[in-house]
Amino acid sequence: EGAKLNNVSDYAEYWKINFESSTFETDIEELWKQIEPLYKELHAYVRMKLNQKYGDEVVRQDGPIPAHLLGNMWAQTWSNIYDLLVPYPEKKTVDVTEKMLEQNYTANQMFKLAESFFTSINLSAMPESFWEKSIIVKPEGVELVCHASAWDFYDSKDFRIKMCTRITMEDLFTVHHEMGHVQYFIQYKDQPHVYKEGANSGFHEAIGDVISLSVQTTKHLKEIGLLESDKEDKEQVINFLLFTALDKLAFLPFGFLVDQYRWKIFKGDIISENYNCEWWKLREKYQGLEPPVDRSEEDFDAGAKYHVIADVPYIRYFVSFIIQFQFHRALCEKANQFNSNDPTLQPLHQCDIYKSHEAGNLLGKVLQMGSSKPWPDAMEVFTGQRKMDASALVQFFTPLYDWLKEQNQKNGVFVGWKPTTKRCE
């Protein structure tokens, strides 16, 4: 009924209103098709490595991967098993955590460092009240949800971050990500209340991640004194890109299917008698995964995901993981660090927009719009394109894509997956 009051036919359509597109489902289907060949090569490589460790009994050479082997409760990111998959184990993977501890980094320093990134690209410093009111270290003896989050108090001056910061490289990136949200709040603070949000729900998440894509480069880590040398050989590049792909690329089919599943339920295409088996059908179709053991309708595995039981739409994360690379490419072109006509000259994964006023001015222009214009207008200002496009993501991972194809061919690995032998009834 609520959907009909909003002039849409069902709850699935109501959820898609934010994306202001009558072809949204086919648009994201096309995005998935752009990435699928790359994902399948990654999947095949990971399955080969897991097969070498656990044997044919556990991981078939041509089947879906059992979901419990990927190091994450939902198998949505696989970076926790990087040590089993690392292409060149003898090459050191960049982790500046030790350096940060050696230099006696504090949470406050990490936040100041993130702020200096934004001011270096001609965006705003954090207001005084931000430093007074944010919680950046877990307070003693207080019950606190430690999940990092950014807050806009909608009075055009009070913005805060709540985070139990640890002195690690991972948290250094998270600090930049959360401050990306705050920068968005600051830039659109003069918009009318109703427009104080991202151009669509994927934009806000993407902005934080775009900044992290620059910060994680060896060039940037050297610039801020956390790395001695930014010289990388081909093997280190492959290690770095694989590590990034286990996070950013492995997530995409999951980010895609969680709402496919719920839209089908809202439309009546999946009925309550099939809730669990249909969930696993989608996970097999898109992720190439199977359950660890046979399942039945006594189980409700989708309910293990917070967003499913809390009724929080999820497709925004899929959108954000795609468009952050589109944004990154546009900013890198503005900073003269990437040329689409000659993408190998300065590879996209090495671009760092630090200190580029040109890139920052473009970013600021888009952030200031908030949601005052339809998102394709904001996208056009940013990238010159009115549609979401996954080609930048593929460009970012091109050296890895070529390497995976070569490895999989060399090892005679089956790419794709045959149906699962696990039952669900």
Residues in the annotated binding site for Zn(2+): 177, 181, 205
CB 361 within 8 A of CB 292: no
Exactly one of 223, 307, 357, 358 is catalytic; which is it?
307
Catalytic (active site) residue 349? no
Q: Would residue 334 be called left, alpha or beta, if left means φ above 0 and alpha means ψ between -120 and 50 degrees?
A: alpha
Q: Which residue has the tokens 């489902």?
A: 25
Residue 125, number of CB atoms within 10 A of its CB: 13
Q: Which of 13, 115, 178, 290 is catalytic?
A: 178
102 labelled catalytic: no
Cβ atoms 400, 391 nearer than 8 A? no
Which active-site residues does the annotation give? 178, 307
